Every structure is written in structure tokens, then in C-alpha cells.
Structure 1
Amino acid sequence: MTPSGRTGHRCAPARPARHGRRRARRRSSRLERFNPLLPRPTVLVPAQAPPFRKSAPPARREPVLCPHPTMAGLLDQYRLSGNRQALTVLLEMAAWADARTAPLSRERMQSVLKVEFGGMNDVLTRLYLETGDPAHLRTAQRFDHDELYAPLAAGRDELAGRHANTEIAKVAGAVPGYEATGDARYLDIADTFWTHVVEHHSYVIGGNSNQELFGQPDEIVSRLSDVTCENCSSYNMLKLGRHLFPARRRCTRSARATGSSARPCRRIGPASTN
């Protein structure tokens, strides 16, 4: 095993950041040449969004789960390589999400959120942070799932029986929610979730969930099968931690600088930093 962590390969010298940006631009150009969808961003005009059909056969529908990773990839293309065409397509998709969700009552929207929707709140909030357009933040906040967020904000673990990766992706969107609004409740939600999952729902190898579901806390030894530790859940927990820890430090520094003690930022415990 070499210093790079790869068997049989020497550790390559670090390259300046500009080389990474150049590679990203070259890849972006190749995508534009070979992907026929990119030159036609108007295919996603909100007015063309098909209505919900009550006559559709009963089945599991996830109408915004698939758009989310596409939108996240487009945002990365714009942020990392400055691809304006990716931003144009992303803005059309964000407008589509707004047009589809704006007519729904809060009660109906909360019902929709019972179905897996990826990290729509995450990508839309990050789009707001890039563009400053409040419409994106408004749309993102429609994806705040009260059934999950309310217990976590109160410090309660009510994860048993819930689909793990569905909930992890929802909570990952809470951290940019704090960055966009300054509301410490979002950080409390993310911190409570992280702490409970890491300390009470995770296997020794770092993954979580059995058959993609959370169980009762501290009973994970009784849930050992050949389908534990879904990779998607592990990825999203790493993503959540990567954004949660710096946000907590910024929150603490801000509270100290202003002398505020009305809503202090909770310290992430030692078990949550491993």
C-alpha cells in the first residue's frame, strides 16, 4: 500500500487547482457535443409540465426523485466549470419544480413529501445561494418535511420504520437551509439526526440501516442480514457531515462575535466527529 492509498501506484504530486478547472471545462465541452438534450433547455418550460392524472394505475410514484440528481449535476457543472448552459437548463428545471408545487396546499404538499424526493430542498437552496433568486428558496422550503423535521428539532429520535436514505437526503438539505436563512433550527435538525444515526443506528463499519430501513435505536445487533449498509445512505451521511461540521463552527463563531446566548449552537459530541 503506497502513501496515496492505492496498491501499486506512487503518490502523484498535487496539481494546482487550475488544472482541475481545466479538466472540468474539457469534460463539460464533451458533454455538450455528445448530449443532444443540452442545446435545447426549453424542453423543460413549466407550462409544458403534464398535470397529475388521477386515473393513473396505483403504483409507487416518485415524480421528483429522478430530477434531483440531474439538477445537482447541472449545479456542479456550473459551479466547477462555469458552464452557463448547465445553469440555463437548471433554471428551467427549478421553474418546473416551482410550477408543479406552487398550486398545492401545504397539507397536500406535506402528503407528497411522504414519497422519496431525493435532496430537492438541498439543490434548490444551493441554487438560491448561487443566484440570489428568492423563488428558489421559496420552492426549496416547500420540501421541508414536517413529519421528519419537527421531532428532530425537538431532539427526538422517531426514525424507526423509516426508509433510511429517503430521510438522510431530506436532512442534508437542512444545512444549506441554515446558510440561506440563518435559522439555527435547521442546524438543530441536522445535528440531532446525525448524532442519533451515528450513535444509535450505525454498524461498526460506519453504514446504517437493514433492508434500507431504520429500526429501534440501540437494537442494531438484532438486525443483521445480507442487505445492510446501503451505499446511498453512507454517501449521503458523509455529505451531511461534510457540510454540518463547518456550519456548526461558523454558527458558534457568529454567536461568540455577537455575544448572543438566546439560541446557542450545540456542540457536536465526540462520537459524532469520528
Structure 2
Amino acid sequence: MQVANTKEHIKETILDLRKKDLSIGFVPTMGALHKGHLSLINKALKENDVIFVSIFVNPTQFDNKNDLKNYPRTLERDVALLKTVSESKIFVYAPTVQDIYGKNPKAIKFSFDGLEHEMEGEFRDGHFDGVGTIVKRLFEIIKPDKAYFGEKDFQQLQIIRKLVEKHKLPVKIVGCKIHREASGLAMSSRNERLLENHRKEASFIFKTLKEAKKKFGTKSATKVTEWVTKQFKKNKLLTLEYFIIADIETLKPVKRKSQSKKYRAFIAVYAGEIRLIDNIALN
């Protein structure tokens, strides 16, 4: 398995692959790989001749310095895990910050037609500028035919689709279903940092989302939101940051339900110091 640390190495490899007329898939990650990542990687392998997996903890998308500092970095373990999937069809790009940004790791300012100001954008200052900057840069380096993103970060998925549309980038974005632990907790690299009691209790998040989905069939978005808020007030281990029911196209909170629109419920919760996000399709 090739593990490249520089974009020059990656570009040479891609040139060779294109000469062979091979299709290229791409799965961008920040490492600390788990079964959720592997589900994206396996889907990408089925749909492309070869795939690239980037492993890079992107500093420009963190608004919390401690979160950046504590984010798990497990490159050797990640590469070993990827080898169990395929040694010949997966190429790894694990760049340094300098290889991506030069001496000044700074995000570009983007407009995503307002998508960036909803939910995560409201609570994480500059986050989506950082996401847009790194994803656009990686697309320019790897030039994939298809790129794969999980629906756990559904807002990010919609923003990347908007990035591709507005900047006319020649890549097809593929959204992939949320991969969950047996308890229902959405798989995330952050889960490894949960204390045992928090990890056990975190299954409450998905249970609440499923119940909210049922209630949304007969109740208004406001009533469902009030119910979810009350449930978390009773929970001593989890703290609700937000619960929002939104139109999947605009990501704006729903005021009145429409049969012609699709909605998702989005949630962010603190389990101790660890922030967890999740979402569920409602109709």
C-alpha cells in the first residue's frame, strides 16, 4: 500500500493511474478510522477501479483549540486497518499541514448560499470555511471521479455539494448512510474519547431521534422540538446543545410542514466534554 505525504507524490501516482484509464474514488477522513469509514471505503471500491483515502486533521475547521489538540491521530493503526480491506486498490494521502497550506494555515472565505449559517455554522465559528478550504484543495490535488461522504455530517454533505456546484468542480458527490454502533450511536472518531458511562448513555440520542420521527407524523415541528428538549432536561449525563427540524435543501428550520418538502431532524449533544452530532430523515 502506498502512503504518500506530499502532493507531488500523489500527483505523479494519479498521472500513472490516468494513463491506465482507471477511475478514481476518494474518501477524505481525519483518521482514527472506524467501521463507519470502512463502509464508505467499501462503497467507493465497488464503484471505482482504485480509491484514495486522505488522513489529515485539518486545523482550519476547528474553532476549539483543545478539540484540535485532543483529536486522535493514529496513522499506523489506520493504515493497518486499510490493508485489511485492500493493499493494491487503496492509496493513502497523509500530508503535513505545510504540504496542504504552506506556512500559513488559513481558511478561504466561502459563501454556500446560507447553508453555512444554519445549525453547526451557528455554533462553530468559521467551521465550514475550513471544511470548504480543505475539501476544495484535496479535490484539486486528487481530481477524483467520485467522492464519498457520510450522512452523519449531513449539513457538511450539502455544503460540499454546493461547493462543487458553485465552483464547477468535476467530481460526483456520493452521500452514504450513517453507520451505527449496536446501541444506535452514530459512529465517530470522537466516540473513542467517551467515558464508559457516557458511551452507554449516548444511545439515548438515537432513541430520542427515532421517537421524534414518529411524533413528527402527527405533531408540529415546534411540539416535537419541545418534547425532545424536555427529554434531555431529564437526562443527567447528556446536555442538549440544539435540536432542529429543517428542510434538507435549505437547512432552515421548518415553520409549517409541507407535503412537497423533505425534512431531517438534526441534533448536537455534549456527553461530558465530547460533542456528538446525529440526524435522521423524517419523511
Which bin holds the TM-score, normalised by the shorter protein? under 0.3
Taking structure 2 as the reference length, the TM-score comes to: 0.25
Normalised to the residue count of structure 1, the TM-score between the two structures is 0.25
**Computing the radius of gyration over CA atoms, which structure comes out larger, 1 or 2?**
1
By relative contact order (CA 8 Å, sep 6+), the higher-ranking structure is 2
Looking at secondary structure, tell me which structure has more helix per residue.
Answer: 1
